[in-house]
Amino acid sequence: MELIFIEGVSGVGKTTMAASLAAELLSRKRLVREYIEFDYTNPIDFYCTAYLHYDEYEQLCEKYGSFACDIQQNAISAGKAMLVRYYDGDTPLYDEPLLSELSRYEFCYNPKRLISFGTYSAAYGYVWKCFAESLINQYDYLIFDGSLLHHPINDMLRNYHVSKEQALCHVKGLLNALGVVKRRIIYLKSSDIGEQLIKVRSDRGENPPTGDDIHFWMTRYEYDMSVLDALNEDYQIYDVSNNGLNDAQKQILNSFDLPML
């Protein structure tokens, strides 16, 4: 089994690449599972997930007894706390007022109650370690859309204003938690981040990026490069500028040991 991390700043085509790569690998008779953004079944990535100390978790289950089984099914241990998912994509997993109560304990995205950075990083690492220990050879490849760099570093920058050294320490911890599990890091880049963002947001029917948006993602790229360069890990960078996503996919597939169609 091999884990494949598709990384890159916003708008470079990570989700598109993850989906198309999974489809192509399946066509080559490989067993593949992909986890794209907002997939609440992703075992190592989090959005709309509450961080609850054990006493808070127990009190919540007792308070909302009729939902206790659902809460437990959507909860995973994070060492000294429990993580409880409360959305599946755009679909809430609970009714009010439980939904709003869980959102007050949000773990990653604009948290209302910010836990310490050390606690955040330790919880993440614990989950990744448990994930690695639970792996079985059910698939040839597990593909993750932004789970190693993209989402964690976004959270760390926006919530904790971390340095590059702190970001590196966190990512190293995640990779160390995987132990000897085979992995591959694929980074998609664009020669003009601002232009790429403008194009993608226009294609999606979204508002154009502001100057602050472009500055943030240029900073993100610098963080990504700093972290990747300091890791003791192999990684490949593919330029997707000028609609180069298809060419990048072909290059990536050529790096796999796959049977001919």
Classify domain 2-42+138-254 at the CATH superfamily level: P-loop containing nucleotide triphosphate hydrolases (3.40.50.300)
**What residue ranges do the domains of the chain occupy?**
2-42+138-254, 49-103
The predicted-structure confidence for 159-180, as pLDDT tens digits, reads as follows 999 999 999 999 999 999 999 9
Average pLDDT over residues 248-259: 84
Check residue 260 and give its pLDDT. 56
184 pLDDT band, cuts 50/70/90, is very high
Residue of 128 and 255 predicted with greater confidence: 128
**Antiparallel, parallel or unpaired: β 91-92 and 87-88:** antiparallel
CA–CA gap between residue 258 and residue 251 (Å, rounded): 13
User: What is the SS3 assignment for 125-191?
Assistant: HHHHHHHHHHCCCCCCEEEEECCCCHHHHHHHHHHHCCCHHHHHHHHHHHHHHHCCCEEEEEEEECC
> Radius of gyration of the chain from Cα atoms?
19
The predicted-structure confidence for 106-120, as pLDDT tens digits, reads as follows 999 999 999 999 999
